[in-house]
Structure 1
């Protein structure tokens, strides 16, 4: 079994890639959302903020170990994307949206990203 390194794990500071800090008092949401979505697409984690269509998912059969490995990686990547979000928003906004056991997709700040 070979573990593959996911490209998103190579990002050490998302602020270097997305220079906009989203703030509730400023009107830069569209720019912030566009940059964030583009980076999520580039690093193959867009499915953590925009749920893929059920029709586009494949129904292939895989072994239990492979499924467990993919699930563990998916959860690790989801936490990473959520950390990215928290890093590039203001503290005031983060305090308003932070929730226990949140996922990147259900973070309130990303609810409009699928537009």
Structure 2
């Protein structure tokens, strides 16, 4: 269910007639990067945005250029998909949308517009089977993200058994030695990740 705060923000969004002009980045917004705080990440000093990118910027993002894979239950590619999205969330300072429930979020028109864009990103980068399981009217990014996560984290034992069976049934056939080794490595890594999460 969408919280009353989200509904109020949506109503405000629909009632606002000057959204497009208000969302257009100004000169002061474009100069934010120059005054961004520095952070040490992995031994490298990097500048990160002090606040999320504007809704205008987010709506112009071609998500497929940042997340080039489709999440699929049969592909064991959840970790890759999640890693791609985590880099996007860090790049545009959007982590609060998937880490903070709506009841704790500073919801306003700008927040709603950004959140709807993230929901669209998630819906368009998953398979039809996953989309049918997670798509609900009025969902916010936090709910969709954690529902997808639950599909993979809650079924990790079943997935580990499935991956083990796939590993045992692999044979080279017409594959090159490189392709065959890649498949073996992929199954091994996927099974290892499932086991680590089960024990954690």
Q: What corresponds to 2:22 in structure 1?
A: 3
Instruction: Give the deviation of 1:84 after TM superposition.
Output: 0.2
1:49-75 C-alpha deviation (Å, 9 max, x unpaired): 1129xxxx9xxxxxxxxx8xx600101
TM-score (norm 1): 0.72
- How many residues end up aligned between the 2 structures? 95
Q: Which has the higher contact order (CA 8 A, sep 6+)?
A: 1
Q: What corresponds to 1:102 in structure 2?
A: 139
Q: Which has the higher helix share?
A: 2
User: Is this contact kept in 2: 1:104–1:110, CA < 8 A?
Assistant: no
User: Is this contact kept in 2: 1:8–1:77, CA < 8 A?
Assistant: yes
Separation of aligned partners in 2, 1:103 and 1:24: 22
1:9-88 equivalences in 2 (<5 Å): 9-11=59-61, 13-51=62-100, 71-88=108-125
Q: Structure 1 110/10 Cα, relative in aligned 2: closer, same or farther at 3 Å?
A: farther
TM-score (norm 2): 0.43
CA RMSD of aligned residues (A): 2.4
Q: What corresponds to 1:61 in structure 2?
A: none
1:51-110 C-alpha deviation (Å, 9 max, x unpaired): 29xxxx9xxxxxxxxx8xx60010111110000001111111101111121111011114
Separation of aligned partners in 2, 1:45 and 1:8: 10
Structure 1 segments unaligned to the other structure (5+ residues)? 58-66
Structure 2 segments unaligned to the other structure (5+ residues)? 1-20, 26-53, 154-200
